[in-house]
Amino acid sequence: MGHGGGGQLSAELVQHLFLPSFGEAARTATPTDAHVLTLGNGVRLAFSTDTYVVRPLFFPGGNIGELAVYGTVNDLAMSGAQPLALSTGFVLEEGLEMDVLGRIAAAMGAAALKAGLQLVTGDTKVVEHGHGDGVYINTAGIGVLPAGADIRPDRARPGDVVIVSGEIGLHGIAVLSLREGLEFGTELRSDTAPLNHLVAAMLAACPDIHALRDPTRGGLAASLCEIAETAQVGIEFDERSLPVPEAVRAACGFLGLDPIHVANEGKLVAIVAPDHAEAVLAAMRATDVGGSAAIIGRVVEENGGVVVARTGLGSTRIVDRPLGEQLPRIC
């Protein structure tokens, strides 16, 4: 199960199995969420895919259909691209109720409209009862990159500022609470949302954003570790500056989880040159999904490849990418 969790084992599966096996046909130089294709005439396309195996199919604040649309939209947006079209591939388990499938498809249609893209091509396969979990959904998306945008994890450089777009840990805890029948006083809702409009607002404020990641599986820790490793820089952040909702903090305390390892959906982490940080932050806060955006840390020269958290007690600790997965089947 760990190999699907988005952590260290997932990265190893890609590095040690898929890339060598694909051989010369593989083109996955840096661990970006979307691949950029440059066409003959200079048009740059972003291309990305994700498969969604979340359980349960419906959860507070969202469902698998919304996740499947926003997840791929957000992967495209992390390269700066605005989404153009999405493909949808369904694996249905025999016996799935048509009504359930209809509600999921309707959520996908509404999500696509909200993100401003079209669902253009699809495929449906059915597997025998017991060989699936109701429905698995793959989406692949094409987006167009604005001229000038060059957003890659390896562009993080010492002095850059680290910004998080809002409260962390909501999606993971919302799904987990429902699945395990836990209650934490307030009802936690997933933060699933499209990020492409937020990214457009950020690029309007500063066309030279260095890096963007959406901290889904593996949480904020995985995103920061990936940026630090890829760019071979250190990243320092202050735990007290992290926007962690009280209910997430309580749930994590109860479950023995660290909020920075918990999956998010409609959130991003941005690496921005210090001169542009305030303008980008202001642009983010003016959007509906970026209202709680905050500067949480900065990129440093020391400790290349390592993420260091400053704790509430003034000490520091090294932040690891989770090995496997804290919460399976979260997206």
Q: Which position among 15, 26, 182, 316 is part of the footprint of its own copies (CB under 8 A)?
A: 26
| SS3 label, residue 51 | strand
Query: CB of residue 204 vs its own copies: minimum separation in angstroms?
Result: 19
Q: Is the dihedral of CA 182, 184, 186, 192 positive or negative?
A: negative
Distance CA 212, CA 226 (A): 11
Residues 43-82 within binding reach of its own copies (CB under 8 A): 43, 45, 47-53
15 is an interface residue for its own copies by CB under 8 A: no
Binding its own copies by CB under 8 A: which of 7, 132, 194, 259?
132
Stretch touching its own copies by CB under 8 A, among 34-42, 167-175, 194-202, 258-266: 34-42
Is residue 227 a contact point for its own copies (CB under 8 A)? no
Would you say 21 or 315 has its CB closer to its own copies?
21
CB 177 within 8 A of CB 127: no
| Dihedral of the alpha carbons of 61, 288, 282, 237, in degrees to the nearest 10 | 0
Does position 2 bind its own copies by CB under 8 A?
A: yes
- Only one of the segments 122-130, 194-202, 270-278, 312-320 lies at the binding site for its own copies (rule: CB under 8 A); that segment is 122-130
For its own copies, the closer of residues 82 and 296 by Cβ is 82
Question: CA 10 to CA 50: how far, in whole Å?
Answer: 14
CB of 298 to its own copies, least distance (A): 30
Considering beta carbons, is residue 74 or 299 the nearer one to its own copies? 74
Question: Nearest to residue 162, comparing CAs of 265, 32, 310?
Answer: 310
Our finding on whether 1 is near its own copies (CB under 8 A) is yes
Burial class (CB in 10 A: 0-12, 13-18, 19+), 82: buried
Nearer to its own copies, 229 or 325 (CB): 325
Cβ neighbours for 98, distance < 8 A, ≥ 6 positions apart? none
Tokens of 119: 């669902």
**Could you tell me if 292 and 238 are in contact, meaning their C-beta atoms sit under 8 angstroms apart?**
no
Distance CA 299, CA 289 (A): 24
Q: How far apart are CA 3 and CA 325, in angstroms?
A: 8
Smallest CA-to-CA distance from 172 within 263, 95, 272, 40 is with 263
121 binds its own copies (CB under 8 A): yes
Residue 331 near residue 217, CB atoms below 8 Å? yes
In the complex with its own copies, which residue's Cβ is closer, 249 or 329?
329
In the complex, minimum distance from the CB of residue 15 to its own copies, in angstroms, rounded to a whole number: 12
Of 14, 255, 273, 300, the residue at the interface with its own copies (CB under 8 A) is 14
Q: Which of residues 79-118 bind its own copies (CB under 8 A)?
A: 84-85, 87-92, 94, 98, 101-103, 105-106, 108-110, 112-113, 117-118
- Contacting its own copies within 141-200 (CB under 8 A): 142, 144
Return the residue of 130, 185, 256, 312 that touches its own copies, per CB under 8 A: 130
In single-letter form, the type of residue at position 306 comes to V
In whole angstroms, the minimum distance from the beta carbon of 70 to its own copies comes to 13
